[in-house]
Structure 1
Amino acid sequence: MSKVEKDELSGVDTTGHDWDGIKELDNPMPRWWLWTFYATIIWSIGYWVVYPAWPLVSDYTKGVFGYSSRAELHEELASVEEGRASITTELVNADLADVKNNPQLYQFALSGGRSNYAVNCSQCHGSGAQGAPGFPNLNDDDWLWGGSVDAIYQTIKYGIRSDHDETRTGEMPAFLRDEILEKDQVSDVAEYVLSLSQEGRDPEAVTRGAEVYANECASCHGENARGNPEFGAPNLTDAIWFYGGDKQTIVNTIANGRANVMPAWDDRLDESVIRQISLYVHSLGGGK
């Protein structure tokens, strides 16, 4: 229990607290500190009156100045948009393939595209556009649906397997789940696919798999297995893998299919932003 007593040296009462023989004096606050504290109270009352401060059910108190930092931000953004309206209009009306020939316009597009990519695309494709399993690497110039700037623009604007009317579609069938192939056939064709970019695969399985591939897979991936951008069918000869290049992952892809979705940005971003991102992404891997 705390025991208040008078300190012999200072003559000041203690608070009754004791830490290993060290006692706390109950000295009053300095006058300057108290007056500063009172001043902050007065200041806060004035702030409540002058500036927006109190939240209400569906709004907030406006204050006699009617100031709003949000409104100030909107004004600044509007001013920025007004200042670059002419170059934005020029970008929207330009042929994407020709923008590179206009250094000022191209630099504007790349700068804006870099910022907008970070806000809208990096969550899936990575901050460095390096991708992840199921999300394409945008740096390697290996394109599922075509690498021209117009093809990239179409992918971003309308998406892949999205809910947009103009989206592109193309699915990897589930050959085992839908009973198109037997389990051994799936393993064999996976072995054949791996043999296209790896040495030392099982030669007998590769031979059997090549026959299965010709009958079931060549229509999309091509007889030479180099893919087809019309269907979003990847090149199987370059050792660049969308979901992973180990045999089990490839077996899973063949057995159960793949149908990832790229969202359509047509109704989320304005035309200028979509074009900026398209040109920026095209610049990362060199494009086609």
Structure 2
Amino acid sequence: MDINFFFEVLIGGLLSGVMYALVAIGFVLIYKASGVFNFAQGAMVFFAALTCVGFMDKFGMPLWLAIPATIVAMVILGLCIERVVLRPLVNQPEITLFMATIGLAFFLEGLAQLLWDSQVHQLVLPIEDVPLQSVLDRFNIVVSQFDVTAAAVCGVLVLLLAVLFAKTKVGRALRAVADDHQAALAVGIPLQRIWAILWAVAGVAALVAGLLWGARNGVQFALTFIALKALPVLILGGFTSVPGAIVGGLIIGASEKLAEVYIGPLVGGGIEGWFPYVLALLFLLVRPEGLFGEKIIRRI
């Protein structure tokens, strides 16, 4: 086995894993605050990317102006979701909130295509997908400049979110809300405000993920399925942990690429589509709560 090629595949997988982690963090944000899996996160990624492209195509905005405009649009969208969908459902069963996010997903998918269109759009970012000249060249390892830049952008955003949760008043309030909605309300924590902030932040994270994946695969309806890639990440890392989303993303990204290159020729094509789910299923048998998830102990 060519060790240099192995590390080239591994590094490429790790860089893709950072982008998976960013999508997974959108789920973690909402789950930590409401205890419900946000089925609409993939639709938010699609909505954000299509809105940015729509601003450029229909209003003639340059990219540097379309991105801030889309950030404003996603923040407004997050605030509207909290006000119209979540606030009336405070203290309702978790299954009710989950069903609400399913309906929200279909609504956002339709709204995005109604406002703009349903065509496949090309999104060109000022990042070329060319081999990066780096210290790895001496080892004959080729790394994409786009992958490195995208991973760096995702890494910075993930770091900012980690600081938000760990070091700020909002982060402390978030942890209190996640533990008990009623208790948080009783001590004066504004539940609606915390939810609004988190949905707005989740919208911005969806925009970054949508731009990066849209630039690679085109802005199209298939972006909604990017969220499915986050499921194995969440299972491995834990549904309530930002560090877990990062570690899970790296594991899934690396294992997916290695399986595609080394196992794919033995079992046929398409292994990268299902191997992460097999890995997650096996992991569930060993540690259902994930690497960084909280172990729940129920006493009867």
Do both proteins adopt the same fold according to a TM-score greater than 0.5, normalized to the shorter chain?
no
Give the TM-score normalised by the residue count of structure 2. Answer: 0.24
Higher relative contact order (CA 8 A, sep 6+): 2
Larger radius of gyration: 1
Give the TM-score normalised by the residue count of structure 1. Answer: 0.24
